[in-house]
Amino acid sequence: QPKKDEKDNNINISSPVMMAFKVFQVELDTKHDKYERLVKLSRDITIESKRTIFLLHRMTSVPDAEVLKESECKLDGIRLKIKQIAKELIGEDLYQYHRAFTPGIQEYVEAISFQHFIKERSLLSLQEINQRLIFADNENSEGSQGTSTDHPEQQGRVLFFQVTAIDYLLGIADLTGELMRMCINSVGNGDIETPFKLCQFLRQIYDGFSYIGNTGPYEVSKKLYTLKQSLGKVEDACYTLKVRGSEIPKHMLADVFTSRAAMIEPDEVMS
């Protein structure tokens, strides 16, 4: 079947069209490869963030210095991964690869804002998150990383990664689930202050989300239902604490319980 070869020969392999498409091939492959590397980084970040959250839940209500330190280490490790993302994105349009790393970043927001709440009992702002994602670009000393983009003019400069407002929102929406878990844990541990604090905080976040309503993207609205459920669980827990706390121990047979104060500290009795 010699004709096919003939036909092929018709197409000059070095014609302008073919030359152009060779360029396209390289361009597309480069893009896809970068995308794939980012997906992998994102998966790593997701897993490590989830483990950080589990770690933080290991504390009972009072901040535990050791656990906090360990979580800080883990978050440092995650930030190294985010730095790698930042490196990949040097000179790129962040939004072009956004879908590749958004799951990991959201999970990171969830983890670090959870840690922050435990330490500070406040909401970590987007600005604060982004401030911690400014890195010194000491690429040479790290060498081993697989990133091949070598921009000589970038060396010694500052690298940074910017979490988008939407990723921040989505991370915070997930945070509320962890806060709910923390609340129920606190009740189980006999801590009756934390639940009320958490309830207050969650209501603020819930009010914030209702204020935004459906002006955000679809993914945000979708998480509203879960958020509302979490708030409901926390409100129920506080309600129970209040109801049982206000019960007058009519049938009290023991002598220890004479003051209201004693009722709020049941753990001493238990232990």
Partner 1 sequence: MSVNEMFSSIQEFLSADHDVREDIRKVVQVLEQTAREILTVLQSVHQATGFKDIPSKCLRARELFLTVRNHLGDLKTKFPAEQYYRFHEHWRFVLQRLAFLAAFVVYLESETLVTREEVAQILGIEVEREKGFHLDIEDYLSGVLTLASELSRLAVNSVTAGDYTRPLRISNFINELDSGFRLLNLKNDPLRKRYDGLKYDVKKIEEVVYDLSIRGLSKVQESETAYEK
Where in 15-74 is the site for its own copies (CB under 8 A)?
32, 36, 39-40, 43, 47, 60-62
**Interface with partner 1 by CB under 8 A: which range of 74-82, 139-147, 149-157, 179-187?**
179-187
- The candidate with the shortest Cα–Cα distance to 138, out of 151, 156, 150, is 156
Q: Taking the mean position of all CA atoms in its chain, how far away is CA 106?
A: 4
Q: Where are the beta strands (DSSP E) in 25-167?
A: 134-136, 158-160
Least separation in angstroms between residue 143's CB and partner 1 is: 27
Work out whether 14 is an interface residue with partner 1 (CB under 8 A): no
Measured CA to CA, the distance from residue 124 to residue 115 in angstroms comes to 9
Residues 249-268 that bind its own copies (CB under 8 A): 265, 267-268
Least separation in angstroms between residue 193's CB and its own copies is: 8
Work out whether 11 is an interface residue with partner 1 (CB under 8 A): yes
First to last CA, the chain: 91
Work out whether 7 is an interface residue with partner 1 (CB under 8 A): yes
| Complex with Mn ion: residue 167 or 174, whichever CB lies closer | 174
Measured CA to CA, the distance from residue 133 to residue 164 in angstroms comes to 12
| Complex with its own copies: residue 175 or 192, whichever CB lies closer | 192
User: Is residue 233 classed exposed, middle or buried when 0-12, 13-18 and 19+ CB atoms within 10 A define those classes?
Assistant: middle
Measured CA to CA, the distance from residue 158 to residue 161 in angstroms comes to 10
Residues 128-157 that bind partner 1 (CB under 8 A): none
Query: Which residue is it, tokens 């980084």?
Result: 41
- Binding characters for partner 1, 194-223, by CB under 8 A (x = yes): -----xxx-xxx-xxxxxxxxxx-------
- Could you tell which of partner 1, Mn ion, its own copies, none binds residue 24, using a CB distance below 5 to 8 A set by kind? partner 1
Least separation in angstroms between residue 211's CB and partner 1 is: 6
CA distances from 243 to 155, 177, 182, 235, 237 (A): 63, 24, 20, 12, 10
How many degrees, rounded to 5, is the angle at CA 174 between CA 171 and CA 177? 155
Contact between 118 and 63 under an 8 Å Cβ cutoff? The reply is yes
Residues 150-209 that bind its own copies (CB under 8 A): 189-191, 193
- Give residues in contact with Mn ion (CB under 5 A): 174
- Give residues in contact with its own copies (CB under 8 A): 1, 3-8, 10, 32, 36, 39-40, 43, 47, 60-62, 189-191, 193, 265, 267-268, 271
